[in-house]
Structure 1
Amino acid sequence: MTPARRSLTALLLAAPALLTAAACDRSAADGTAAPPVSPPPAAGSAGTETGVVWTSGLNDHGQLGRPGPGIDLKLAPVTGVGGQGRLGGVRAVAGGGRHSLAVVGAGEVVAWGANDHGQLGDGTLRDRRAPVPVRAPDGRSGRLDGVVAVSANNDFSMALRRDGTVVTWGANDHGQRGNGERGDGGRAAPRVPTTVKAPDGRRPLTGVTAISADGHTELVLRRNGQVLAWGANDYGMVGDGTRRDRALPVPVRGLDGARRLTGVTRIAIGGQHGLALLKDGRVASWGHNDLGQLGDGTRRDRLVPALVSGVGGKGVLSGVTGISAAEKHNYALRKDGTVVAWGNNTAGQLGDRTVKLRAAPVTVAGSHGAKLRGVAQVFAGEAYGAAILTDGTPLTWGAGGSGQLGSGNRVPRSRPGTVVMAHGAAPGKALSAGAGERHLLLLMSSPGS
């Protein structure tokens, strides 16, 4: 994504189904079908298992969470809070434009990296190369706690709390903090989290089960399966049928002119477009479409949702269990453990072994086979992607010029490949990932040794 637009998605704590490593890249020609994959946990959602965070890529503002070079081509551990040891006990991660977030312990949040818009939420504008605690919202004393999911993008951060409320911190030039106010790029906004308000602006927004941050336009999913959005809207990415910025949440319109989009189980927001996974396994999209990122076979913008086309433009995409969006491309995980992608492909970020733009979904290729199989989770970053297989193996593909693939070099690749750990460490089991603008975070079950 450009200037850090990317997305990260919904909240589900179900554990992935187990598959053997041998099933991860089987071709259909062997006559055996891989077992179905359970719906994945959303990017940024806190799981029950904890781990340590490894990062690679651009480190110009300390977004890798440690001192060192401006670019790190291999994955290495994040420093602990206070600059000592390693950051452990982590339940979720998220990558922003130039900063990073992690949920630790029982739901506290730590942050590191760029802080010129207050995106670290520590009450300052000072960059941090080691994690610092995010402060409590709305001027209260103490630390932000009770968090079950985080999302970040550009110069903006967002957290879902256990009570169904949402807090935001960072930039607010388009009203993206969702409290009815606007600021000049975040500098006039509070440097600590504030609570998102309900559409009437009189009380906190409640009943939220999932969040997805673009940094300019934000999405939330409510318990009733409806989607709300706010922030920048010049390309219709709020999905309310207008191009007017919104400083308070408004409902996303439904399919075929319906008043509200309903029956949604997952959400994702890219730079200038939104995605929603419906409970029947179809996907709706809306917003900017200059590079085919809406997946409907056209390059026309849409101010309200419509369905994503099937593979190769045939019919309607179905059988989807998870979604992820970047500014100009998207991924959909299907129940058979394969992944489809659509949109921009200049760096091979669609993973189909080409660099050809796709306005309708195509299948992500395997490292050695026609299809990548046995995928449990998939994540979209700016012009790159990452996947975690059901055995915990992490894979990456797309742009690698800043080391964001963790491949040990800066060469782009148009199909998934393995990552390299620093100091000769063996990759452990990956639990989740965060796709920053030009940096990658992997939450690993062990430090690797």
Structure 2
Amino acid sequence: MDDQFRPGPRPTPRPARRGVAVLVSALALTVTGTLAACSPETGAPAGAPSPAADQKDGTPGEVWSTGLNGDGQLGRPRNDVDVALGPVVAGQGRHLTDVVAVAAGDRHSLALTKQGRVMAWGANANGQLGNGTGKPSFAPVAVRAPGGASELQDVTAIAASGGLSMALRRNGSVVTWGSNGHGQRGSGSRKSSKFPTLVRSATGRGALTGVTAIAAGDHNGLALLRGGAVVAWGSNRAGLLGDGGGRDRGLPGPVRGAGGSGRLAGVAQISVGSKHVLARLGDGRVLTWGANDRGQLGDGTGRPRTVPGAVADPGGGGLDEVTFVAAGGKHNYAVHRDGTVLAWGDNANGQLGNGTTKPAPRPVHVAGTHTESLRGVSRMGAGQGYGVAVLVGGSALTWGVASKGQLGSGNRVARTRPGPLVAAKGARISTITNLAAGARHLLLLVRPRGTE
């Protein structure tokens, strides 16, 4: 559920607090061009490298975090809430480094290392850290392989949402751990295991294979297959599985095509919200299905849909020329090929970034900090009631709810337009290469200084 803090009038800008360094002082809004960035949870555009290359920006970095920290999801044992960015600490004061991708759930976090290992920290009541203990951890711990005898290895992509964690392995199989009340671990059973388990095939005989990208929802999982087909499993509330029905499924099954015809194909990227799903096609169109009570399907109707249907554009036609999508709790973002961002759905906390708190059942443009439209965006993240954009130059902006410090703005004041992040204790942040927006905490992957 979104934090229902409703911002008042936009406050007069004030200088950053003492002891806090501004991360982005000005927005470079003149950068445009075709973008083909992808998120660690979703997939690759048509013709792009494999998910492994997708998640790995080329230079391993270190992880910084901000927001809610009640279960240690920020990776440092101090405040319950941090309003400014600080480093994840791997032990003995060392920063967590050699990381190529990050993922964030409700109260836990994941990091993929350049060696193909997965580290996890935060809440662990449902086994979402994958280390077999059930105990929370403020410091990163290694995720174990199925059976627990060794560490999980050969991972190329990770995803997390709610209490669920997922990993894609180099051989095209998928491993899951954490919550399983709706069969979201894809094992064919709702029984819990303290160690990771394999997602099985549709028949339950053998592992699901041929997977090129993964996406996690709070209660379901999706996988993008070679050729652009999508399979889904877990909760089918509000039609999340896209199969035209409403029954939960413990094993992967195909998502139907647009309007329920045939099977969905030609998909380049998938992203899952609270109770809805986005699929970006290789031709730049966007399909959605699931709940629509806040306009999150972007078709202007407010009616739920159990099979995929098209998102409208601001003029009422079909949205196209999209290079990247991100689904939040009940809102979404789409990066256009010109580097602008469109948003739709719930806006109670200003998460659409257009300077208002009015919901939008059709896409609207995200505003710039001081301009009509945000530009130069390479990738997006969407949490519960907030958004984050990484710009082509490697800086970042956030907007929406800030009650748990998730905007990293140095305060807990919501904002309805993009604004800068700050780093604690005068720290200086270099190029941001990737991100993960959890429910109420944010992770950023930062390139080490001296490697730009």
**Does TM-score exceed 0.5, indicating one fold?**
yes
What does residue 57 of structure 1 align with? 67
Please state if 1:24 is matched with 2:32.
Answer: no
Quick one: which of 163, 178, 186 aligns to 1:178? 186
With the length of structure 1 as denominator, give the TM-score of the two structures: 0.90
What does residue 444 of structure 2 align with? 442
1:131: how far off? 0.3
What does residue 103 of structure 1 align with? 112
SS at structure 1 position matched to 2:422: coil
Deviations 1:163-185 (A, max 9, x none): 111100001000000010013xx
What does residue 162 of structure 2 align with? 154
1:71: how far off? 0.6
SS at structure 1 position matched to 2:238: coil
Structure 1 unmatched ranges of 5 or more: 4-20, 27-33, 184-188
Preserved contact between residue 229 and residue 252 of structure 1 (Cα < 8 Å): yes
Quick one: which of 420, 429, 433 aligns to 1:418? 420
Provide the rounded CA distance (Å) in 2 between the counterparts of 1:22 and 1:96: 30
1:84: how far off? 3.9
Q: Which amino acid aligns with 2:142?
A: P
1:427: how far off? 2.4
Preserved contact between residue 57 and residue 440 of structure 1 (Cα < 8 Å): yes
1:311: how far off? 1.5
Quick one: which of 246, 249, 252 aligns to 1:249? 252
SS at structure 1 position matched to 2:259: helix
Provide the rounded CA distance (Å) in 2 between the counterparts of 1:22 and 1:436: 25
Preserved contact between residue 27 and residue 369 of structure 2 (Cα < 8 Å): no
SS at structure 2 position matched to 1:256: helix
What does residue 56 of structure 2 align with? 46
SS at structure 2 position matched to 1:378: strand
Number of equivalences: 416
SS at structure 2 position matched to 1:218: strand
SS at structure 1 position matched to 2:404: coil
Cα 1:116/1:2, change in 2 over 3 Å? farther
Q: Which amino acid aligns with 1:165?
A: S
Q: Which amino acid aligns with 2:259?
A: D
Q: Which amino acid aligns with 1:428?
A: S
What does residue 133 of structure 2 align with? 124
Preserved contact between residue 35 and residue 338 of structure 2 (Cα < 8 Å): no
Provide the rounded CA distance (Å) in 2 between the counterparts of 1:232 and 1:2: 20
Deviations 1:54-100 (A, max 9, x none): 111111000000110111111000001x4541100110001110000
SS at structure 1 position matched to 2:294: coil
Quick one: which of 388, 392, 395 aligns to 2:394? 392
Provide the rounded CA distance (Å) in 2 between the counterparts of 1:22 and 1:62: 31
Preserved contact between residue 184 and residue 233 of structure 2 (Cα < 8 Å): yes
Q: Give the alignment of 1:10-409 within 5 angstroms.
A: 24-26=28-30, 34-44=31-41, 45-80=55-90, 82-137=91-146, 139-183=147-191, 189-312=192-315, 314-409=316-411
Deviations 1:12-68 (A, max 9, x none): xxxxxxxxx999324xxxxxxx54133103234333221111111111000000110
Q: Which amino acid aligns with 1:51?
A: G
Provide the rounded CA distance (Å) in 2 between the counterparts of 1:358 and 1:153: 24
Please state if 1:433 is matched with 2:435.
Answer: yes
SS at structure 2 position matched to 1:421: strand
Preserved contact between residue 24 and residue 372 of structure 1 (Cα < 8 Å): no
Q: Which amino acid aligns with 2:35?
A: S
1:259: how far off? 1.6
Cα 1:392/1:370, change in 2 over 3 Å? same
SS at structure 2 position matched to 1:111: strand
Provide the rounded CA distance (Å) in 2 between the counterparts of 1:387 and 1:321: 14
Q: Which amino acid aligns with 1:427?
A: I
Provide the rounded CA distance (Å) in 2 between the counterparts of 1:426 and 1:84: 18
1:104: how far off? 1.0
Provide the rounded CA distance (Å) in 2 between the counterparts of 1:205 and 1:278: 22
Q: Which amino acid aligns with 2:340?
A: T
Q: Which amino acid aligns with 2:169?
A: R
Preserved contact between residue 77 and residue 447 of structure 1 (Cα < 8 Å): no
Cα 1:2/1:198, change in 2 over 3 Å? farther
Provide the rounded CA distance (Å) in 2 between the counterparts of 1:114 and 1:241: 34
SS at structure 2 position matched to 1:93: strand
Provide the rounded CA distance (Å) in 2 between the counterparts of 1:36 and 1:109: 34
Provide the rounded CA distance (Å) in 2 between the counterparts of 1:65 and 1:417: 24
Deviations 1:189-224 (A, max 9, x none): 111111101111101001111111013011110011
Preserved contact between residue 96 and residue 155 of structure 1 (Cα < 8 Å): yes
Preserved contact between residue 132 and residue 148 of structure 2 (Cα < 8 Å): no
With the length of structure 2 as denominator, give the TM-score of the two structures: 0.90
Provide the rounded CA distance (Å) in 1 between the counterparts of 2:32 and 2:445: 25
Of 173-182 and 47-56, more deviation after overlay is shown by 47-56
Provide the rounded CA distance (Å) in 2 between the counterparts of 1:23 and 1:152: 30
Deviations 1:305-336 (A, max 9, x none): 00000015x10101100011012000001110
Preserved contact between residue 157 and residue 215 of structure 1 (Cα < 8 Å): no
Provide the rounded CA distance (Å) in 2 between the counterparts of 1:83 and 1:326: 35
Deviations 1:215-246 (A, max 9, x none): 30111100110010010012101000000000
1:277: how far off? 0.4
SS at structure 2 position matched to 1:235: helix
Preserved contact between residue 37 and residue 376 of structure 1 (Cα < 8 Å): no
Percent same amino acid at aligned positions?
51
Q: RMSD of aligned C-alpha atoms?
A: 1.6
1:143: how far off? 0.5
Structure 2 unmatched ranges of 5 or more: 4-24, 42-54
